[in-house]
Amino acid sequence: MAINYDQVSVGTSATSIISSNTNEKVRTIKNIGSNSIFVGGDSSVTTSNGFPIDAGETLDVSDYTGEVFGIVATSTENANYIEEDFQ
């Protein structure tokens, strides 16, 4: 078992927050910035079609093993992630 975590600066172009991994994982993303981060499953995510994670909120993506991308409307925001690999 391994625990991976990091902080990612998300900008106005699609940014990889968590890379893909086929191992079963507990995966959580937290927006530690002051504006919404919009997330999706590929680099075509936009502020219009992405799922919003508001400032201070978390999103559990444990049932998804693909890469997670994020984007913000202006400037940059930070997101923290943690994932637990059970293999």
- CATH number of the domain where residue 47 is located: 2.60.120.770
Question: Per the structure, how many domains does the chain have?
Answer: 1
Q: Which residue ranges in the chain fall short of pLDDT 50?
A: none
pLDDT at 28 (0 to 100): 97
Say how far residue 15 (Cα) sits from the centre of its chain.
9
pLDDT at 74 (0 to 100): 96
pLDDT at 22 (0 to 100): 79
Listed in sequence order, the residues at least 6 apart from 18 whose beta carbon sits closer than 8 Å to its beta carbon are 27, 29, 61, 67, 68, 81, 83
Strands of 32-76, DSSP E:
37-40, 51-53, 58-60, 68-71
Whether the pTM exceeds 0.85: the reply is: yes
46: its two tokens = 């936009």
Structural domain including 23 reads 2-85
Nearest Cα to Cα of residue 68 among 57, 56, 80? 80
